[in-house]
Amino acid sequence: MVYGIEFRPAVLKAMKHLPKRDLVRIKHKIEKLAADLPAPAKTKMKGNNSLHRVRSGSYRIIYEIHQDRLVILVVKVGHRKDVYAHLS
């Protein structure tokens, strides 16, 4: 099952400032997520939230899965040292 991909506006803005090499890798990882979603039990973040995370080198992609609309909403993309700060 193929999922659509949506981005929060802040994610698109943050991605403009990433190094080109890492940006290509992150985009490829997001496309791979849409085509073949990993088991949600493996990617679910701890806590009472609907967030999932996946690794792409030193960067992390934080996303939500909306099963009813078949959409992956990318919430945040950033370096592993500070991507988890200020998650809503």
> Which tens digits make up the pLDDT trace of 32-50?
999 999 998 999 999 899 9
Residue 65 clears pLDDT 70, i.e. is over it:
yes
Share of the chain above pLDDT 90, in %: 86
Strand partners, 71: 4, 66
Cα dihedral: 46, 58, 38, 26 (round 10): 130
Q: Find the distance separating the first CA and the last CA of the chain, reported in whole Å.
A: 28
CATH of the domain at 52: 3.30.2310.20
3 state SS of 64: strand
Domain presence at residue 86: no
57, two tokens? 């080198």
Domain presence at residue 40: yes
Model pLDDT for residues 71-84, shown as the tens digit of each residue = 999 999 999 999 99
Note down the domain range covering 16: 4-79
Residue 86 clears pLDDT 90, i.e. is over it:
no
Domain presence at residue 34: yes
Total number of domains constituting the chain = 1
Domain presence at residue 85: no
Residue 88 clears pLDDT 80, i.e. is over it:
no
